[in-house]
């Protein structure tokens, strides 16, 4: 950020900044664009800077000039306009009044505004982001040393507008969430909080995915420094924070980025490339260097100024394919459907983040088989840290929705992921998109009566937690909500009055603790060195058994999945070492809502080769359950 007494003509607002911005090489353009509170020539005020390359004139309108015509000045042929207004500061309201060459005028919010009015109002608000005292240095130092690929990552996905609401429908504030959400997530055993977009957006129904203010913390929950305080407290409680980020498209509201200077400014000129018919939005033009400066600066803005630990990049597929949307499309220069400019932008973005915040997580929400999403740019990849495994999610939810009688005919839905699971670095998602728009809650996706639905959900979550890949689960999944997500009201906390929901919540807490405390479930997540498939072919009994392994030979666990409501006796599973084993989890115990009153404490290995292992255990697999068994005292293994 600009220091308090910098001269806009002699330092940050220079020809060099304008050149870098216009060539796509300015990765911190928020330091001079927008509304900067500062002192200039001994006068305190605000320097306004905006890019409107095809405007005839640009004026500043605000509550400080009765929304009139404050003259802004063009900076040569750069397309950038500036003005310094003395005597205003924090809290001032403003817009840009843009005049086209045909004389038509319209008002626009500031693309670089740090604050915005609460909808339905649309003015930008001057905010000074300097002066917040961060106390998360210990967390940030740990983050730099942490290996994200081997560390446990269990993300709690949150829409702040509907985790909780006040009785009168008012939103909770960042400050209130700091007091309630952070302790809850910490107690439940998650490692990260992921926030659906908290950038300013006009329509609640978009959940934040149709943005007008890319640099503006939404006024629904408070001011920018209150978000800083929230993230700071997360870090002090050893919780990472990931922000959903939407560089693919923006909404068409008149005060936003759409046709910003009266012409396609941030979007493509070609309507086939600019228009997203499916979402009613507009795509950024990834061929424009100024768009690169705008978006890459925005990514670093949230990572550096707000100390976010990572960005989950939304709708990556729509950035990769020219024919992703419904309707007509324009091929690339080679006649293909790949958006070459989008690919180039994503590589440049991830390289910039890696150079400036190498510990930051860049997560692609990408739903196709586009190759090398998480591979290094220098090796032909896009450079993301992780990719959501949408294929696994679709297969597994389709499988669990089946009547167990028919699951033997679709056993491949359980096992197919192991054909590709290490081709990328994956996160397994059970996200908001799967529990909304008539898709039902996770609990109601399960077939059968109430007892079977809870059994099925426990089994699903245990399989997810033991399968290779990091994890993300949407808020409310841990409560076993009956109703699907309703973004206009809080979660079904009332359900915790019932024993079945309280037990399920405790079960998820136990499952999260097991995932965090046992390295075998996260340490080797990106290669076959982390798993031995014992039996993937027992489709007639719908059994699936495997071993998850850590780097130390002693760090392993045997996982027995029974995907039918039929108890399987005398199940023999292979183990690598002779000795005693003990039960770590039985999802059918009464304490979790099941029917088993006791746990099998120990198992003695049998000297019999099974599943390509030298020894075996004989177990009873409860109906619709997952058993996790770990070594207790074993022989023949070197640490």
- Cα separations in angstroms, 559 against 404, 421, 533, 536, 584: 20, 18, 10, 12, 10
How far CA 168 is from CA of 171, 486, 490, in Å, comes to 9, 16, 11
What mean pLDDT do residues 190-203 have?
97
User: For the domain that residue 543 is a member of, what is the CATH number?
Assistant: 2.60.40.1180
Q: Which residues are bridge partners to 626 per DSSP?
A: 561
The total number of residues shown for the chain amounts to: 639
Note whether residue 280 is domain-resident: no
User: Distance between CA 297 and CA 353 in Å, rounded?
Assistant: 10
When pLDDT is averaged across residues 344-364 and rounded to a whole number, the result is 98
What's the chain's average pLDDT? 95
Q: Please list the residues that pair with 194 across neighbouring strands.
A: 157, 242
Q: How far apart are CA 248 and CA 78, in angstroms?
A: 25
Residue 259 covered by a domain: no
Position 6 pLDDT exceeds 70: no
Is 449 a known active-site residue? no
Query: Would you tell me the crossing angle of helices 174-188 and 224-236 to the nearest 10 degrees?
Result: 20
Taking CA atoms, 287 is separated from 23, 232, 290, in Å, by 11, 36, 9
Query: Among 101, 125, 149, where does a domain finish?
Result: 125
Rounded CA-CA distance 245/211 in Å is: 10
Q: What residues have CB less than 8 Å from 367, skipping those under 6 apart? A: 317, 388, 390
Split at pLDDT 50, 70, 90, the class of 41 is confident
**pLDDT at residue 599 in the model:** 79
- Distance of alpha carbon 624 from alpha carbon 626, whole angstroms: 7
In a domain, 478, yes or no: no
**What's the average model confidence in pLDDT over 470-479?**
98
Quick check: is 499 catalytic? no
- Is 428 inside any structural domain? no
Question: What is this structure's pTM?
Answer: 0.95
DSSP assignment of 513-546 equals HHHHH-GGGTTT-SSGGGEEEEES--TTTTEEEE
Q: How confident is the model at residue 638 (pLDDT cuts 50, 70, 90)?
A: confident
Last residue of a domain, one of 85, 103, 125: 125
Residue in 284, 264, 281, 379 with CA at minimum distance from that of residue 325? 281
CATH number (domain holding residue 60):
2.60.40.10
Q: 589: which 2 tokens?
A: 């115990």
pLDDT at residue 7, as a whole number: 44
> Does residue 308 surpass a pLDDT of 60?
yes
Bridging pattern class, strands 568-575 and 615-621: antiparallel
What is the C-alpha separation between 450 and 400, in angstroms, rounded? 15
Look at residue 639 in the predicted model and tell me its pLDDT. 64
Q: What is the dihedral of CA 569, 575, 581, 582, to 10 degrees?
A: -60
Q: Residue 379 and residue 232: Cα distance in Å, rounded?
A: 36
**Choice among 194, 244, 341, 365 that is catalytic:** 365
Supply the angle between the helices 450-466 and 499-517 in degrees, to the nearest 10: 10
Whether 235 is in a domain gets the answer no
Q: Report the distance separating Cα 491 and Cα 261, nearest Å.
A: 42
Go through 84-93 and write b for each residue having 16 or more CB atoms within 10 A of its CB, e for each that does not. bbeebbeebb
Q: What angle do the packed helices 224-236 and 137-145 form, to 10 degrees?
A: 60
Residue 600 falls within a domain, yes or no?
yes
Rounded to whole angstroms, how far apart are CA atoms 601 and 586?
11
Question: From start to end of 201-321, where are the E strands?
Answer: 213-217, 240-245, 249-250, 275-276, 281-283, 310-313
Residues 6+ apart with CB under 8 A from 581: 558, 575, 602, 603, 604, 605, 617, 629, 630, 631, 632, 634
Backbone angles phi, psi at 549, to 5 degrees: -130, 140
For CA atoms 24, 29, 33, 38, the dihedral sign is negative
Instruction: Give the N- to C-terminal CA distance of the chain in Å, as an integer.
Output: 51
d(CA 274, CA 255): 18
In a domain, 544, yes or no: yes
Write out pLDDT tens, residues 109-138.
999 999 999 999 999 999 999 999 999 999
DSSP secondary structure letter of residue 118: P
pLDDT (mean) for 443-447: 97
Rg (CA), the chain: 27
Cβ–Cβ contacts within 10 Å for residue 224, how many? 21
Between CA 624 and CA 131 the distance in angstroms is 55
| pLDDT range class, residue 598, cuts 50, 70, 90 | confident
Q: Which of 241, 243, 236, 192 is nearest to 217 (CA)?
A: 243
- 229 domain residue, yes or no: no
Cα 247 from Cα 290, distance rounded (Å): 14
Mean pLDDT of 463-480: 98
The residues pairing with 579 across neighbouring beta strands, listed in sequence order, are 634
Q: How many domains does the chain have?
A: 2
Any idea what DSSP says for residue 128? Answer: -
Q: Which of 125, 160, 187 is a domain's end point?
A: 125
Give the range of the structural domain holding residue 584, as residue numbers without chain letter.
Answer: 528-634
How much of the chain exceeds pLDDT 90, in percent?
95
In whole angstroms, what is the distance from residue 323 CA to residue 339 CA?
Answer: 9
Mean pLDDT of all residues in 462-479: 98
Catalytic residue among 110, 314, 395, 555: 314
**Contact of 78 with 16, CB cutoff 8 Å:** no
The mean pLDDT of 60-70, rounded to a whole number, is 96
């Amino acid at each position: 950020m600009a220091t308090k007494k910098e001269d806009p003509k002699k330092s940050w607002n220079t020809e060099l900044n304008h050149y870098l911005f216009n060539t796509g090489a300015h990765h911190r353009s928020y330091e001079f664009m927008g509304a900067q509170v500062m002192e200039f020539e001994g006068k305190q005020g605000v320097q306004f800077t905006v890019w409107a390359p095809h405007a005839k004139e640009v004026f500043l309108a605000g509550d400080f000039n009765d929304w009139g015509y404050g003259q802004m000045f063009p900076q040569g042929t750069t397309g950038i306009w500036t003005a310094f207004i003395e005597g205003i500061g924090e809290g001032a309201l403003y817009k840009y009044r843009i005049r086209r060459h045909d004389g038509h005028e319209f008002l626009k919010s500031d693309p670089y505004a740090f604050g915005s009015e609460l909808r339905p109002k649309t003015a930008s608000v001057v905010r000074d982001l300097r002066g917040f005292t961060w106390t998360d240095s210990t967390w940030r130092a740990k983050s730099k040393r942490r290996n994200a690929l081997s560390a446990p990552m269990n993300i709690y996905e949150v829409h702040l507008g509907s985790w909780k609401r006040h009785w009168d429908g008012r939103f909770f504030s960042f400050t209130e969430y700091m007091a309630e959400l952070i302790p809850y997530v910490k107690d439940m055993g998650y490692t990260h909080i992921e926030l659906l977009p908290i950038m300013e957006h006009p329509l609640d129904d978009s959940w934040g995915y149709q943005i007008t203010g890319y640099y503006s913390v939404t006024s629904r929950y408070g001011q920018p420094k209150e978000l800083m305080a929230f993230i700071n407290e997360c870090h002090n409680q050893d919780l990472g924070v990931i922000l959903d980020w939407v560089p693919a498209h923006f909404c068409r509201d008149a005060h936003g980025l759409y046709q910003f200077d009266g012409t396609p400014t941030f979007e493509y000129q070609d309507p086939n490339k600019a228009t997203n018919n499916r979402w009613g939005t507009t795509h950024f033009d990834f061929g424009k260097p100024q768009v690169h400066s705008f978006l890459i600066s925005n990514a670093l803005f949230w990572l550096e100024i707000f100390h976010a630990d990572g960005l989950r990049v939304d709708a990556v597929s729509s950035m990769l394919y020219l024919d992703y949307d419904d309707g007509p499309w324009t091929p690339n220069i080679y006649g293909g459907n790949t958006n070459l400019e989008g690919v180039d932008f994503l590589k440049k973005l991830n390289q910039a983040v890696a150079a400036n915040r190498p510990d930051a997580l860049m997560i692609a929400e990408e739903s196709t088989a586009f190759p090398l999403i998480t591979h290094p740019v220098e090796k032909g990849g896009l450079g993301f840290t992780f990719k959501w495994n949408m294929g696994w999610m679709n297969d597994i939810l389709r499988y669990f929705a089946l009547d167990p009688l028919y699951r033997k005919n679709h056993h491949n839905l359980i096992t197919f992921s192991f054909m590709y699971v290490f081709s990328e670095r994956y996160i397994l998602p059970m996200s908001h998109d799967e529990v909304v728009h008539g898709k039902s809650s996770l609990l109601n996706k399960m077939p059968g009566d109430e007892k079977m639905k809870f059994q099925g959900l426990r089994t699903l979550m245990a399989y997810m937690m033991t399968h290779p890949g990091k994890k993300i689960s949407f808020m409310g999944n841990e409560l076993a909500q009956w109703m699907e997500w309703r973004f206009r009201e809080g979660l079904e906390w009332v359900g915790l009055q019932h024993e079945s929901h309280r037990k399920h919540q405790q079960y998820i807490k136990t499952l999260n603790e097991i995932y965090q405390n046992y390295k075998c479930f996260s340490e080797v997540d990106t290669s076959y060195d982390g798993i031995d498939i014992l039996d993937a072919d027992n489709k007639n009994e719908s059994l699936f058994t495997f071993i998850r392994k850590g780097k130390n030979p002693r760090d392993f666990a045997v996982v027995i999945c029974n995907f039918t409501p039929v108890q399987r006796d005398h199940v023999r599973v292979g183990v690598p070492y002779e000795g005693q084993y003990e039960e770590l989890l039985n999802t059918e115990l009464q304490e979790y809502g099941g029917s088993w009153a006791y746990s099998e404490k120990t198992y003695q290995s049998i000297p019999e080769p099974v599943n390509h292992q030298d020894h075996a255990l004989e177990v009873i697999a409860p109906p619709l359950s997952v058993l996790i068994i770990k070594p207790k005292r074993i022989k023949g293994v070197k640490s």
